[in-house]
Amino acid sequence: MTFDVHQLDLFVLVGAGVTLLAILAVRLSSRAGLPSLLLYLLMGVALGENFVGITFENAELAHALGFAALALILAEGGLTTSWDAVRPSMRLGLSLATLGVGVSVAIVALGAHVVLGLSWQLSVLLGAVTSPTDAAAVFSVLRGLPVSQRLVGALEAESGFNDAPTVVLVTLISTGSVAEHGVVATGLVIVFELVTGTAVGVVVGFGGAWLMRRAALPSSGLYPLAVLCLTLLAYGAAAVSHASGFAAVYVAALVLGNSELPHRIATRSFAEGVAWLAQIGLFVMLGLLLTPSRITWSVVGIAVAGSLLLTFVARPVTVWVSAVVQPMPWREIAFVSWAGLRGAVPIVLATIPFAEGVTDAERLFDIVFVIVVISTLLTGPTLPVVARWLEVSRQLEPRQLDLEVAPLERVNADMLQVTISPVSRLHGVEVGELRLPEGSSVSMVVRDGRTIVPERRTVLRRGDDVLIVTPHGQRQTTVDRLRIVSAHGRLGRWLGD
């Protein structure tokens, strides 16, 4: 085997160009309200053998690289998720990720076999592969929507945990272990992998946080790298122990992301960049793996029927059943049902039977690919409209208060930059009337390019940029107070919410 430096140069040129184009495409996808995965998948298809001519047919390599990318995406999700935000909805999230997956698999498998005429093995695989929501799609789409944090927390927890049981289930079905050992034994294996993987994640997370607080690394840039390595260490340790690596990496990242670590903001930014790179590589690769000439009208018809079954039958029933552990109003249940975003995860899971040589695995991959595209086009752009129609938007819209946060790590504080929008009732409020928590203070007001050192009687105006310094422990209380005044004015709930 010879090493061709010219091929390497060409690979670097094409890879850098595609990555840069994919980064720029994020703005286009965000304006359209679509997860960027669609554009990346289409880029991969365009680069494939039917268009540009790049041939990629190695399902085993796609399977391995797909799992690595998913681990990085889950690590970023855990590191950037606030435990305080997801804790109130954790019961529902875990129920959706376990009980909900089982219900969804059963409904889709039954419908695929009875209505669509697929074999039982292919039907169960279709149900298992399409059941999990996608962490990348959920994190990128829902965090930009002005909906209740309880709903976002439940959906984030679901997408963070539901990869683990479905990976185990799809693997056992593809290798024939379910038929050999039975449903009860399969269920016990899934429980073991989930529990053990979670335990590994907890140990690595708390142990890693203890280590990072005491490590005196010579460069600040090493801390983000070390934290990301810790999350992957959890994945590897769980996988070697025959436990769920996906459960371990998400739990470890969740613990680390909510610990008081040095350079927390830099760590989260680094993880976010790595996750974007993993998403781009993953989706483009999956697009390359698809052969458009295999997409027949039969495949499209099955995919359309499967998407309708998944969206309008399986998902709503799944959420209603899962909500038994944490009852919610029907409007919130309806929104969670509609927000079951699919993405790369089902396509990656479809590479498992592909790699195992399951009969009709190529057909299953093509069906799942089309289902993901249809489901994304159906649910992604309509989520803001559905949220408003169901009246689940936050009462305090973020458009009233444009707020950014920058860390002041040396003094354990944060600086808030607040831009007073035209609709905010902060207009006309005096600085002293903000009644911020003790230790927080307005340090500067920028108005029409002029800098003002404020006093208690300084009146805030529309268009002002207000800089507020607050102790890290008081940040959320300060933000809550600002949102209350922004929505209700100086008399709005003086003593808090």
In DSSP notation, 74-110 reads: HHHHHHT--HHHHGGGHHHHHHHHTHHHHHHHHHHHH
169 and 197 fall within a common domain: yes
Higher-pLDDT residue of 236 and 384 is 236
Within-domain flag for 4: no
Answer yes or no: is 273 within a domain: yes
| C-beta separation of 264 from 407 below 8 A | yes
Tell me the pLDDT tens digit for each residue of 266-282: 888 888 889 888 888 88
The CATH number of residue 478's host domain is: 3.30.70.1450
Domain boundary among 389, 409, 429: 389
Q: Which residue has the higher pLDDT, 231 or 64?
A: 231
The reply to whether 133 and 225 lie within a common domain is: yes
In this prediction, residue 202 has a pLDDT band, given cuts at 50, 70 and 90, of: very high
Q: Is there a domain that residue 25 lies in?
A: yes
Which residue, of 389, 412, 440, is where some domain finishes? 389
Task: Say if 37 falls within a structural domain.
Answer: yes
3-class DSSP string for 328-348: CCHHHHHHHHHCCCCCHHHHH
**256 found inside a domain:** yes
- Same domain, yes or no: 360 and 412: no
Residues 407 and 380 in one domain: no
Distance CA 109, CA 98 (A): 17
Question: Distance between CA 70 and CA 253 in Å, rounded?
Answer: 13
Residue 251 has pLDDT above 90, yes or no: yes
The arithmetic mean of pLDDT across residues 348-375, rounded, is 88
Q: What is the pLDDT of residue 232?
A: 95
Alpha carbon of 112 to those of 91, 124, 347, 349, 358: distances in Å?
Answer: 30, 8, 18, 18, 17
Residue 326's nearest CA partner among 93, 26, 92 is: 92
Residue 5 lies in a domain: no
Who contacts 58 (Cβ-Cβ below 8 Å, separation ≥6)? none
For residue 67, the one-letter residue type is F
In a domain, 6, yes or no: no
Does 332 lie in the same domain as 409? no
Question: What pLDDT score was predicted for residue 143?
Answer: 65
Residues 42 and 81 in one domain: yes
Flag whether pLDDT at 236 surpasses 70. Answer: yes
- Rounded average pLDDT over 18-39: 70
The pLDDT mean for the chain works out to 84
Does residue 185 carry a pLDDT above 70?
yes
Q: Is residue 354 part of a domain?
A: yes
pLDDT at 398: 39
Please check whether residues 408 and 384 belong to one and the same domain: no
Residues 349 and 459 in one domain: no
470: β partners: 414
- The structural domain count of the chain equals 2
Confidence at 497, pLDDT banded by 50, 70, 90? very low
**Confidence tier at 32 by pLDDT (50, 70, 90):** low
Structural domain including 410 reads 398-488
Residue at which a domain ends, from 389, 410, 430: 389
Q: What is the pLDDT of residue 27?
A: 67
Tell whether the model's pLDDT for residue 94 goes beyond 70.
Answer: yes
* pLDDT tens sequence across 101-134: 999 999 999 999 998 888 888 999 999 999 988 8
State the pLDDT at residue 14: 78
**193 and 252, same structural domain?**
yes
Is there a single domain that holds both residue 327 and residue 455?
A: no
**Confidence (pLDDT) at 279:** 85
- Say whether both 223 and 372 belong to one domain: yes
pTM of the model: 0.77
C-alpha neighbours within 13 Å on the C-beta side of residue 26: 14
27 and 175 share a domain? yes
